[in-house]
Amino acid sequence: MNYIAVQKEPFDIAAEQNALRADNPGIGAVVTFAGLMRDMNEGDQVSSMTLEHYPGMTEKALAEIVEEADQRWDLLGIRVIHRVGELNPMDPIVLVAVASAHRGEAFRACEFVIDYLKTRAPFWKKEKTPEGERWVDARHSDDEAEQRWQR
């Protein structure tokens, strides 16, 4: 079962993994990526962050990414949760959990989903530093990570 959520509320990583594999004895592997908020970026201390998104399009973009992962690999469930609003250092920001019968498919699909999410889902981070607020710039390395999956 696939599940996608864009939410303000924090999530519990273990609880999400359990929900993903509940009631399916065919699942032999769960691979989870959890993205966390760091207290440093570009050499500056970051005290908090606000995540903005494009309601409607965000959910659609995530659904398309999940569907593509399902088409590419033999999976038994994908769970994507992304938080929006105010975040503090150490907070989980995003969770991508993928279940499959064997580990290889889940590992690859998990990395694919987060790589695509980074460049295709409309979220924007604004961070608070001692010098004031600033929008986070997109990273070239994220584009390269996405391009590895193009075919």
Contact set with other proteins (CB under 8 A): 35, 51-54, 56-57, 60-61, 82, 93-94, 114, 117-126, 135-139, 142
Cα separation, 49 vs 136, in Å, equals 10
d(CA 42, CA 44): 6
What are the CA-CA distances from residue 90 to residues 37, 65, 87, 139 (Å)? 5, 26, 9, 21
Query: Closest CB to other proteins among 70 and 146?
Result: 146
Beta carbon of residue 85, minimum distance to other proteins (angstroms, whole number): 13
Which has the closest alpha carbon to 117: 151, 55, 48, 68? 68
Q: Which uninterrupted H or E stretch holds 92?
A: strand 92-100
Decide whether 30 or 94 has the Cβ nearer to other proteins: 94
- Give min distance, CB of 129 to other proteins, in A: 15
The least distance separating other proteins from the CB of residue 98, rounded to whole angstroms, comes to 15
Q: How far is the CB of 147 from other proteins (least distance, A)?
A: 15
By C-beta, is 2 or 41 nearer to other proteins? 41
